[in-house]
Chain A
Amino acid sequence: MKFICKRSDLTHGIQTVLNAVSHRNTLPILSNILFELEDDLLRLTTTDLEVSIICQISVQVIASGSITIPAKRLAEIVRELPDSDVTVSVSDNFLVTLVCEKSLFKINGLPKDDYPVLPKTKNEKGFSISKKQLHEMIKKTIFAVSTDETRYVLNGVLFTVDDDVMRMVSTDGHRLALIEQKLEKIPPQKFNYIVPAKALQELSKILDDEGELNIQLNENQIIFSNSEVVLMSRLIDGQFPNYNQVIPKETDKHINCPVNDLLAATRRVALMASDKSNSVKYTMSNNKLVITANTPEVGEAQEEMDIAYTGENISVAFNAKYVQDVLKNIVSADCVLGLSTSLNPGVFTPKEEDKKYVCIVMPMRI
């Protein structure tokens, strides 16, 4: 096996697949990158047996073949190489030689035979979505995914496609985020699957915002692909909770707030709440919002804001971190906080956005 490529292309390929490298010691070969040469393409593959990433880059092939190379060491070497052509060759005893200008590295590889075989992608019908849209949907839901491994169905984002509407929902039992997006083309089949958060995090890292991404299902795997990169992930098997129950059908108090001002004020006031319960109290009265936090042994904070609200007075306490997470993901200038009572869920929605985005935050006991 021998090929020549640009250092920048090799770096790009390695960086793309690096995040799926497993750090578990049980299968040492999973800490390697699989290199395979086919036609004029070098295919780099990594997997941790849950998420797999494949990236293809153009190279000049001198002799075809395959090899697996320790990922971390290779990434460090290639990062330090001069910006020039790199020649990679593999000897019969799996010794990999990298030559770049006057630098020469020899690194022990392992044969491809021991590397797990990834499921072949069938030509199942999928659908396409703009990378930018998908990127935004992931960003707006992933923060609410549960990290509690015992609640495995909540460790992912529910991905549903019904007619021309794609919906993503996540919850950790304390808050819930839901976003809907219209698709340009109606997909040939309905989707209703839970995609692990890790897969979506990795996808976010490798997504640029140009062009489209194809989404396919293959048995219990979901496959995101474009011409250069393929990301495969197992799906989470289980029943996602009935999230529609959680979203209040209607709220009778609607508070209009400027997002950035509310976020900044919450962040400031929360400084006095951090040692207690991270609970920040919001009191709404005639066109005025008072945000307070109180830690008896430390002190208290209070901030007033002008808002558009003329309903009856109401006080509600939220975990400041949850409110900040929500507000950071609202792009419009203003948001609406819908409330019924101080014990019912708070419903945050952007005031002007063309897509449906709802965040539910459960209040805390005052």
Chain B
Amino acid sequence: MPKKRIYYTEFRRSLDSGSVKPVYFFTGAETFLKEEGIQTIIDKVLPPAERSMNFESLYAGTDVSGQEVKERAMTLPFIAKRRVILVRQAEKWRAGDLNVLDTYLKDPAPTTVLIISSQEERLKQTNWKNFANLTYHVECYPLFDNQVPAWVERRVGEHGKRIAREAVQLLIERVGQTLADIDNEINKLVNYIGQKPMIEAADIRAAAGHIRQNTMHELNLALGRADGSAAVRLVKHVLDEGIRPIQMLGAIAWHFRNLHSIRKRLDGGEDLDKIVGNIRNPQARREMQLQATTYSKQAFAKIFQELLKLDVHLKTGKTHWEMFLEMTILKICRQYTYK
């Protein structure tokens, strides 16, 4: 059993090389990868004919206690090499359930593959940490921005098609980075292009939906990176989602307050890795490291002044607020950065 967590890509490599572990523990926010990983294990371990007798899908808490899972896992498979037991919502288990399972995890049955999936992260708690250490712990975090295009290309390739680079960018821009959403759109596009071997940008414009969510978060990320053109483009999406300008301003100010607080600690001599060290999601951690050094301490004072001006502008009901908003964003991104 590994004592460290591994990421999804490493898990896939391990599984593809034929190594099947007796206990998997899936955590992380990227549900699509978790489900894909779980399905890949099931496909690998159990041929369809053996599934009805040897595959059990259970829910912790409502369905089964740790004790029951242990009993089921210790039973030998019915005319198959292995039995697969999948337990979802493991976060509902209490300490007693984990204790019972700990004894199993220390000596798991070689004839059972136990897959445990948790929606919430409780790994800061000691008993969960110990539990995770006894399993093959696969963390399924959202892919990094630069990993998504490659994932899209691979996914399209699995359908026997190719996708143009411009089309990949357009797809991500329209759909967002949620893999489940992208996968749905890929399925739609593959049907749409029929016999054509490649998905072009025109196909995306014609058939892909515009379902991108969380644009407020992305707007903040773009501002944090001082990416003015992306930020201005995202402002329109945020407004289209029904977020009022004053709400948007509140969210932007909150983000800059966070960045300012990191900047102050950084300038006070604290180590950046230590400051952001309690952010568990590696992607979010990396993002904060990047953004914290984009603006100087002095720049933040000016940024807050600009935001104050925007606030007054919005609240006094002056016209052309959209233009003022865009100009403020461009000013922040282009005048106050080190870039």
Contacts and interface: CB of A to CB of B under 8 A. Distances in A.
Interface residues of B, number: 24
Contact of B71 (A153, A176, A277, A363): A277
B53 interface: yes
Given A151-B52, A173-B56, A277 B70 contact: yes
A218 B6 CA distance: 55
Nearest to A296: B103
Contact of A279 (B74, B78, B111): B74
Contacts of B92: none
Contacts, number: 64
Contacts of A345: 78
A343 B75 CA distance: 10
Contacts of A349: none
Nearest to B63: A148
B138 to A, nearest CB: 22
Interface in A247-291: 276-279
A362 B56 contact: no
Contact of B57 (A148, A241, A242, A277): A148
Interface string B109-137: 10100000000000000000000000000
Contact of B74 (A151, A153, A343, A365): A365
A118 interface: no
Interface string A343-366: 101000000000000000011110
B55 A362 contact: no
A241 B51 CA distance: 9
Given A319-B71, A365-B109, A246 B53 contact: yes
Nearest to A248: B79
A171 B75 CA distance: 14
Contacts of B74: 277, 279, 364-365
Contact of A148 (B54, B58, B67, B76): B58
- Which of B55, B74, B109 gathers most chain A CB within 10 Å? B74
B113 to A, nearest CB: 14
Contacts of B53: 154, 171, 173, 241, 246
A126 B283 CA distance: 65
Contacts of A276: 103
B301 to A, nearest CB: 58
Contact of A245 (B58, B79, B109): B79
B45 to A, nearest CB: 15
A363 B67 CA distance: 17
A319 B71 CA distance: 8
B57 A174 contact: no
A328 B103 CA distance: 31
Contacts of B57: 148, 150-151
Interface string A165-190: 00000010110100000000000000
B76 A365 contact: yes
Question: SS class of chain A's interface: helix, strand, loop or mixed?
Answer: loop
B78 A246 contact: yes
A278 B71 contact: yes
B117 to A, nearest CB: 14
Interface string A119-152: 0000000000000000000000000000010110
Contacts of B109: 365
Nearest to A152: B52
Contacts of B79: 245-246
Question: In this complex, which of B55, B72, B83 has the most chain A Cβ atoms within 10 angstroms of its Cβ?
Answer: B72
Contacts of B67: 277-278
Contacts of B52: 151, 153-154, 173, 239-241
Most buried by B among A154, A240, A362, A363: A362
Q: Of residues B53, B79, B103, which shows the largest number of chain A Cβ atoms within 10 Å of its Cβ?
A: B53
A240 B49 CA distance: 10
B209 interface: no
A145 to B, nearest CB: 13
Contacts of B61: none
B78 A319 contact: no
A148 B104 CA distance: 22
B300 to A, nearest CB: 53
Contact of A173 (B49, B54, B104): B54
B77 interface: yes
Interface string B323-339: 00000000000000000
B76 A364 contact: yes
Q: Which of B74, B75, B79, B104 has the most CB of A within 10 A?
A: B75
Given A148-B58, A246-B53, A173 B78 contact: yes
A187 B58 CA distance: 40
B70 A362 contact: no
A343 B76 contact: yes
Interface in B193-213: none
Nearest to B70: A277
Contacts of A278: 67, 71
A246 B72 CA distance: 18
A173 B52 CA distance: 7
B77 A362 contact: yes
Nearest to B111: A365
B51 to A, nearest CB: 8
A245 to B, nearest CB: 5
A34 B79 CA distance: 48
B58 A362 contact: no
Given A148-B56, A246-B53, A362 B71 contact: no
Contacts of B54: 173
Interface string B257-280: 000000000000000000000000
B87 to A, nearest CB: 12
A314 to B, nearest CB: 15
Contacts of A245: 79
Interface of B: 49, 52-58, 63, 67, 70-72, 74-79, 83, 103-104, 109, 111
Given A151-B57, A277-B71, A362-B78, 4 more contacts: A150-B56, A173-B54, A241-B52, A364-B74
13 contacts: A150-B56, A150-B57, A154-B52, A173-B78, A174-B75, A176-B78, A239-B52, A240-B52, A246-B78, A277-B71, A277-B74, A278-B71, A365-B109
List of 4 A-B pairs having minimum Cβ-Cβ separation, nearest first = A150-B57, A364-B74, A241-B52, A173-B53
Interface of A: 148, 150-151, 153-154, 171, 173-174, 176, 239-242, 245-246, 276-279, 319, 343, 345, 362-365
